[in-house]
Amino acid sequence: MLALSFTVQAVGALLPSVPLLAAATATGLAADVALHRWQRSLAATLGKLHATVTVRQVVRDLLLVTGLLRIEEQHDEQRYLVLVCGLLVFYALHFACQALAIQVRRTRTLPVVTRNIDASALRLSAAPPALLMRRSGQRLLAFALPATAGLLATAATGSARWAAAGVALSVAAGVVAFVTLAVRLLPGRRPATSEQALEWFEAWLAEYQPTVGMYFSGGNSSAYQANMWLEPLARLEGRPLIVLRERFMVRKIASTDIPIVCLPKVADLMRLEHSTLKMLIHPSNSGKTSQVLRIPTIKHAFVNHGESDKLSSCNPYAKAYDEVWVAGPAARERYALADVGVDDRDIVEIGRPQLDAIQPYAGAPTGAYTTVLYAPTWEGWDGNPGNTSVVEAGENIVRALLADPAVRLLYKPHPLTGSVDPRAGAANVRIQEMIRAANVSRAAQHTDGRPAPSAAAELTRRAADLDRLTTASFRDSADDVERMLLQTAPEPGRAAAVAAASAAWEAAFWASFPVWEHQIVTGPRPTVYGCFNMADLLISDVSSVISDYLASEKPYAVTNTSGLTEQDFRAAFPTVRAGAVLTPDASGVPALLDSVRHPENDPYAEARTDLKLHLLGPSDPPSVVRFNDASRALCEAADAHRAGMAVRALPVIPSQRENDAKLNSGHLKG
């Protein structure tokens, strides 16, 4: 549409034809707006070809002026010279605004980003509108609209006043934007400098004196790995701190009372060496992890974001940490078998402190429906076809479950599904379409059992309460990504309020739809643990979901798409030994459902109890206590290490006996 609009606009200018000129110009503007709103990757590609939005708008205006000149060839063309000069002034203002926006953004991009910390001393006020700061293409299109409309009106009426008025409005908009940005560069309006911000940060560290913390670095979809450790971290003894590396990740961390700092640069990260921080837990490995491991005064423990029998749970990188904290004996054995260089003495069993919220097994389903949670994992980086069941077995499993009129399906795919293998993404889409079609069919069969309208209203109210709490941590707008996320003062109790609001939201969510309606859960809410509590049966792959679900001791099944026989599959993956194994054709689903509805036919009940102990460790002392004990011990090791470093750094002072010997030998005088 964009290319066609320029072609037709050129034809309309050369003929000349006012209808063609007007239609092509309007189409081109609409296509450009759509491009920036819905196809930003294509807009970026055009930019690489130097066909930027500025170039496109200049060409569009040039063709309009050319059309005007062609239409008015028999008249004095000098009157349009003023319009051309006005357009040049407008574009000059656009480029000046862009330069100012870059400069303002630089002054606002400080070396440390914070949450839950009173950073008002840095004098960073709300940012200018995003249209002025970072949406240069949309700014140009919006500000150029009056000029374009005026030129078209002149082409239609023959009166140059319309074009003059339009160009004047565009120039005025450019002047307002220029002044708005220029004011931000006045000495009194600038925030603290980078040096002042770092001095403030060091002073805050000295005042707060953090002792324990979590380090996290990752991509957009990986924040869940850190969020699962927020509550356990908050319950540790000491003063906790969260250390991040990517600015966008500050927004991704869920609501918490724990102070959060983001230090994108390595040099600034090293300032933690002289702080009171003693130990950091690491939920994941990343390329930037090696940078923080250089700090000798801090001890590091790898806690992982989940444990499974997959090779990724025994990454050789784990040997870089001082300790590896695992759930139970199974993980210790897994590292021993993997032989990746992790010393058994460095492995500490802490259980899974996040699993307190999972409700225990209560027996057979009591309602009219058996709730089945199908939670497959993603395809992974290694291309192993056995990683995820979505490609080979997902549709068969869902089809078999939907065929049972007494099943309610909860489908929760991994957030990264389809990110490596497009086939997984396509299968995920088809599965969701199957579930929606099944819901339409069920809705036609069930005229009763629907919740009252007040249930939907209650969910809306609870969602508004939760959104208000989770977004109130930020004082800036959603578009203001360049600025630091500064909260004027920390608000104690926010995490508890968010936890209560989340629980209320989940209760309202499950009550807001009929008990027979299948659900597709792809967002962060409801949580996977909330789905665990609603499910009577889990179907998954070899992943940490199985280990966590075992905390409930409910029945589960694992899909075997590895190509191994069932015997070899069970031998290769110990987490499978207490659950049923499904083949890719899902032929075992009816028997599996029967064993769930009739626990006397369940052959794995005792095995699940034993496997839970093997995977998650004993329930006494609780995992929360073991997690805290491990933290305290690692902090003591950090204290001992710092004391040793201090002793080794002292100058060597000769003893009195050594001085007497040297004096007698003539080496010391006076």
Q: Are 33 and 27 in contact (CB under 8 A)?
A: no
Q: Give the helix/strand (H/E) hosting 243.
A: strand 240-244
Nearest Cα residue to 144 out of 107, 175, 171:
171
**What is 359-450+515-616's CATH number?**
3.40.50.2000
Q: Are 407 and 442 in contact (CB under 8 A)?
A: no
Buried b (16+ CB within 10 A) or exposed e, 109-130: ebbbbbbbbebeebebeebbeb
Query: Which token pair is 504?
Result: 């209320």
pLDDT given at position 591: 94
Q: How far apart (Å, rounded) are the C-alpha atoms in residues 515 and 511?
A: 8
List residues bridging with 349 in a β-sheet: 326
Edge to edge, the sheet with strand 556-559 lists 519-520, 407-411, 370-375, 537-540, 556-559, 580-582
pLDDT given at position 534: 93
Q: How far apart (Å, rounded) are the C-alpha atoms in residues 463 and 501?
A: 8
pLDDT given at position 669: 40
List residues bridging with 119 in a β-sheet: none
What is the mean pLDDT, run by run of 10 residues, along the chain of 670 residues?
86 83 88 87 79 84 81 60 78 88 86 86 81 86 90 84 91 94 87 89 94 92 88 92 93 86 94 94 91 94 79 78 91 86 91 88 88 91 77 95 95 89 93 95 80 84 81 40 46 74 89 91 86 94 89 94 90 89 94 94 91 89 93 94 80 51 46
pLDDT given at position 487: 44
Q: Are 101 and 132 in contact (CB under 8 A)?
A: yes
Burial of 259 (0-12, 13-18, 19+ CB in 10 A): buried
Q: How far apart (Å, rounded) are the C-alpha atoms in residues 607 and 553?
A: 9
The CA distances from residue 491 to 473, 483, 487, 488, 496, in Å, are 9, 21, 9, 9, 11
209-351+621-670: CATH, from 3.30.70, 3.40.50, 1.10.8, 3.30.2310: 3.40.50
